[in-house]
Chain A
C-alpha cells in the first residue's frame, strides 16, 4: 500500500504534468512546483476522492491570510501528507 505522500505525488504528477521524480516530500506545492490555485482545485478534488475526505482549503487559506499559519504548514507536501493523515484518522474516529 503506497504512502500518503506517494499518493499525493502521483496525483500531482498526473494532474499537473510534473515529472514524478521532481516531487519530493520537502517540495512546496506553490513555491517549488509552481502549482496555481486552479490546478490545486483539481489536486484537492483528486485527494478528496482518493482519501474520502474534504480538504479544508477555505479554513487553511483563512489561517494563512490571518497570519495564524504559514503556507509551509499546508503546502509543503510532507506537511500536507500529515494533515491528510489527521483528516483520515478523524474521519475514522
Chain B
C-alpha cells in the first residue's frame, strides 16, 4: 500500500470473471505520514481507507468485467462495518464479489480479513461510465499490470 498515493492494492491474487469474484493482497505500511495524525501515539489504519481498499478491490473486478473499456466510480457505501483495528504492518486479504450488474451501475459485496478474521465489510454501489479520457485508461491498464492483473483475463478486450 502507498497510502498517500491511494494505491491500496498491492497484488491481485485471484480474479474469476465467471464467478464475479476477486481476491487481493494489501500490506499496510509500517510508516506513513497518515499515521502521524491517525493517531498521534497510536497509529491505526483509517476506516475510510479500509473502505477505499474495499472499493478498489471490487473496483478492479468491475473494471475487468467491463474489459477495461469503462470505469467504475464509487457512488454509495452501505452497511459498512469496521469490526476491529488494523495496525501498521498488517497484511490484508481483500475480497470482492459483484452481486448485480445493472445498466450503468453495479452492486458489489466486499470484505477485508487479516489473520483469517474479518476486519470490515460493506456493500458498494458503483456508477460505471466510459473512461473520462485516454490517459486515465492507460494509467489504469499500467497499474493493473503492476499489481498482477492475470494475463488470461480480457485486459485488452
Segment 37-93 of A: residues with Cβ below 8 Å from B: 38, 41-42, 44-45, 48-49, 54-59, 61
Q: How many residues of A contact B (CB 8 A)?
A: 14
Tell which of A41, A54, A58, A61 touches B125, judged by Cβ atoms closer than 8 Å.
A41
Q: Tell me whether A57 and B103 are in contact (CB under 8 A).
A: yes
A interface list, Cβ under 8 A from B: 38, 41-42, 44-45, 48-49, 54-59, 61
CB-defined A-B contacts under 8 Å, sample of 20: A38-B76, A41-B105, A41-B125, A42-B76, A42-B125, A44-B102, A44-B105, A45-B105, A45-B107, A45-B125, A48-B100, A48-B102, A49-B100, A54-B101, A56-B103, A57-B104, A57-B105, A58-B103, A58-B104, A61-B104
Q: How many A-B residue pairs have CB under 8 A?
A: 36
Tell whether B75 is near chain A: CB-to-CB under 8 Å: yes
Interface positions of B from 83 to 123, Cβ below 8 Å from A: 100-105, 107
Q: How large is the interface on B (under 10, 10 to 19, 20 to 34, 35 or more residues)?
A: 10 to 19
Answer yes or no: B141 CB below 8 A from chain A CBs.
no
A41 to B107 alpha-carbon distance, docked (Å): 10
Beta-carbon contact of A55 and B103 below 8 Å: yes
Closest to A39 in B: B76
Give B residues with C-beta under 8 Å from A.
75-76, 100-105, 107, 125, 127
CB distance from B126 to the nearest CB of A (A): 9
**How far is A48 from B103 in the complex, measured between Cα atoms in Å?**
10
In the complex, the answer to whether A44 meets B103 with C-beta atoms within 8 Å is: yes
Chain A residues with CB under 8 Å of B104's CB are: 57-58, 61
Expressed in whole angstroms, the minimum distance between the Cβ of B72 and any Cβ of chain A is 12
